[in-house]
């Protein structure tokens, strides 16, 4: 069975590695495990995490695991998760007037970038991620791995093909902030909104002109003529600024900021 079919029609996904398995089984996960496949040497270390796990645990040596799955299993930890029903955007965005930090991905077709965006969203405490119809699935194996498991804990919802970002933002009482290298406003120039929908497009074509004209368009100032950031890095920098503006960041050991 191809992953495309498993993740798509069959409503399941593959989790690899101990860190992501612990997230899948832990209290913050939005998903249930259907079954686990572990190498025997991984059982003792995972005993605690498996204590309350209702899913069956199958045990096999790594070469058997690799033969069964069709790809090399280095870590000896695999699970099948159940997607369950996908929530609506309104169900995962905090209701006004509470602060809200929502990341919107428009046309991101690279699993590394989508995974990295989820990782940054989780690191800076975003409430939710919204995906347009063309952005790839965060529950692909590679996206989950690159997200460091954030795809399992940060709520996400996919928009209908005809949904307009700005109409959606308005209906959720969010201010749409669209990132673009050509925007007139620099990050840091103006206060950031307490209820933000941060819209990120692809690196090549970027966001469409119609959207940029109607949203608050923002750019990250750079230096000299090498005006180029990866989309997930750019999202990380703006999410950090938004989380700071919204008071979401936990102070460090010194405590005072």
Q: How far is the CB of 110 from its own copies (least distance, A)?
A: 12
Query: Which residue's entry shows tokens 């919107």?
Result: 104
192 binds its own copies (CB under 8 A): no
Considering only 114, 148, 198, 212, the residue that binds its own copies (CB under 8 A) is 148
Helix (H/G/I), strand (E/B), else coil: 110: coil
Q: How far is the CB of 129 from its own copies (least distance, A)?
A: 13
Considering only 42, 111, 119, 195, the residue that binds its own copies (CB under 8 A) is 119
Helix (H/G/I), strand (E/B), else coil: 178: strand
Considering only 100, 106, 116, 131, the residue that binds its own copies (CB under 8 A) is 116
* Helix ranges (DSSP H) in the chain: 3-7, 18-25, 43-50, 62-69, 89-92, 111-123, 141-146, 150-153, 165-171, 209-214, 231-245
* Cβ neighbourhood burial of 123 (10 Å; 0-12, 13-18, 19+): middle
Please calculate the CA angle 39-114-177 and round it to the nearest 5 degrees.
150
DSSP state of 138: T
41 binds its own copies (CB under 8 A): no
Considering only 5, 61, 186, 208, the residue that binds its own copies (CB under 8 A) is 186
205 binds its own copies (CB under 8 A): no
226 binds its own copies (CB under 8 A): yes
109 binds its own copies (CB under 8 A): no
Chain residues binding its own copies by CB under 8 A are: 28, 116, 119-120, 122-125, 148, 150, 153, 182-186, 188-189, 219-230, 232-233, 236-237, 240, 243-244, 248-254, 256-257
């Amino acid at each position: 069975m191809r992953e495309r079919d498993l993740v798509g029609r069959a409503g399941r996904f593959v989790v690899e590695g101990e860190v992501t398995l612990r997230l899948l089984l832990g209290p913050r996960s939005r998903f249930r495990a259907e079954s686990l496949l572990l190498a025997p040497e991984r059982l003792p270390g995972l005993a605690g995490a498996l204590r309350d796990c209702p899913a069956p645990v199958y045990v096999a040596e790594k070469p058997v695991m690799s033969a069964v799955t069709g790809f090399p299993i280095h870590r000896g930890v695999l699970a099948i998760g159940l997607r369950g029903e996908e929530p609506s955007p309104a169900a995962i965005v905090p209701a006004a007037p509470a602060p809200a930090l929502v990341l919107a991905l428009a046309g991101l077709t690279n699993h590394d970038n989508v995974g990295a965006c989820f990782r940054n969203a989780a690191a800076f405490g975003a409430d939710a991620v919204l995906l347009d119809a063309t952005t790839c699935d965060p529950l692909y194996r590679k996206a989950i791995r690159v997200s460091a498991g954030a795809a399992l804990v940060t709520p996400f919802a996919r928009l209908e093909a005809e949904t307009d970002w700005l109409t959606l933002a308005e209906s959720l009482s969010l201010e749409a902030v669209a990132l673009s290298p050509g925007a007139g406003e620099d990050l840091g120039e103006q206060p950031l909104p307490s209820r933000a929908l941060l819209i990120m497009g692809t690196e090549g074509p970027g966001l469409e002109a119609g959207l940029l004209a109607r949203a608050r368009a923002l750019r990250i100032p750079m230096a000299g003529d090498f005006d180029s950031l990866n989309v997930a890095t750019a999202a990380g920098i703006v999410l950090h600024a938004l989380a700071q503006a919204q008071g979401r960041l936990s102070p460090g050991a010194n405590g005072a900021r």
